[in-house]
Structures are given as structure tokens and as C-alpha cells.
Structure 1
């Protein structure tokens, strides 16, 4: 209990290397998760979905 009180009165939080490594890994994971979850790039919106009207006119295919 004395160690907790000393840490609280000094105003600094000391974390040993093992805990800081785990904490850093968790922070990195959540940062990557947020970036991936809210990435505005959606490649399926940019794919060509088949021949367009110019191709149909050139090759004599009926329009849909």
C-alpha cells in the first residue's frame, strides 16, 4: 500500500518494462483496428462492373 501512495503523491506513473510492452502492444493493436475499421477507401466502388455503353455500341450488343 505504501508503494501505491508514493506513486500517487509523486504524480508520475511508473510501469515496468514488461507492462509497458504489453500496454504498447495493446495501443498499437487498437490504433490499427481503428484505422482499418474506419478506412474510407472502398475498392469495390471503383471496380469496373462490365462493359459500358461505348463497348456495346461498338460490338453491337443490346443495352440492358
Structure 2
């Protein structure tokens, strides 16, 4: 979704390496994209799904296994 009216933002904890995502809010969803590929795919989460995603991030559900 490429819309010039969207306000995309990323975490203030994002490092200089650019390994982060950006989010934008729209009335019915939270949109998320890769900050390195701003013309690439966008994920859309409804309110309940977004809350579940954030809970999974906080719980380490998506952490990469350490070698």
C-alpha cells in the first residue's frame, strides 16, 4: 500500500543498520512494512491481531534461536 498520506514511523530503538520495520495507523488496521523496502509488501493487522502480534514479540515468540 503506497499512500503519500500515511505517516510511517519506526521505533526510536532502531539502530543505524536499518534492521527494523515501520508502522502506520489507518482506521481499521495497523500497517507494517520493512523499512529497507518501502515499496515492498505491507502487512495489515486488525486490532485483535495487532495486540496478539505485540504480545508474541514481547514474549520472544519470534526470536531467532541463538547459535
Q: Which has the higher helix share?
A: 1
Structure having the higher Rg: 1
Do both proteins adopt the same fold according to a TM-score greater than 0.5, normalized to the shorter chain? no
Higher relative contact order, structure no. (Cα contacts within 8 Å, ≥ 6 residues apart) = 2
Structure-2-length-normalised TM-score: 0.28
TM-score, length basis structure 1 = 0.29
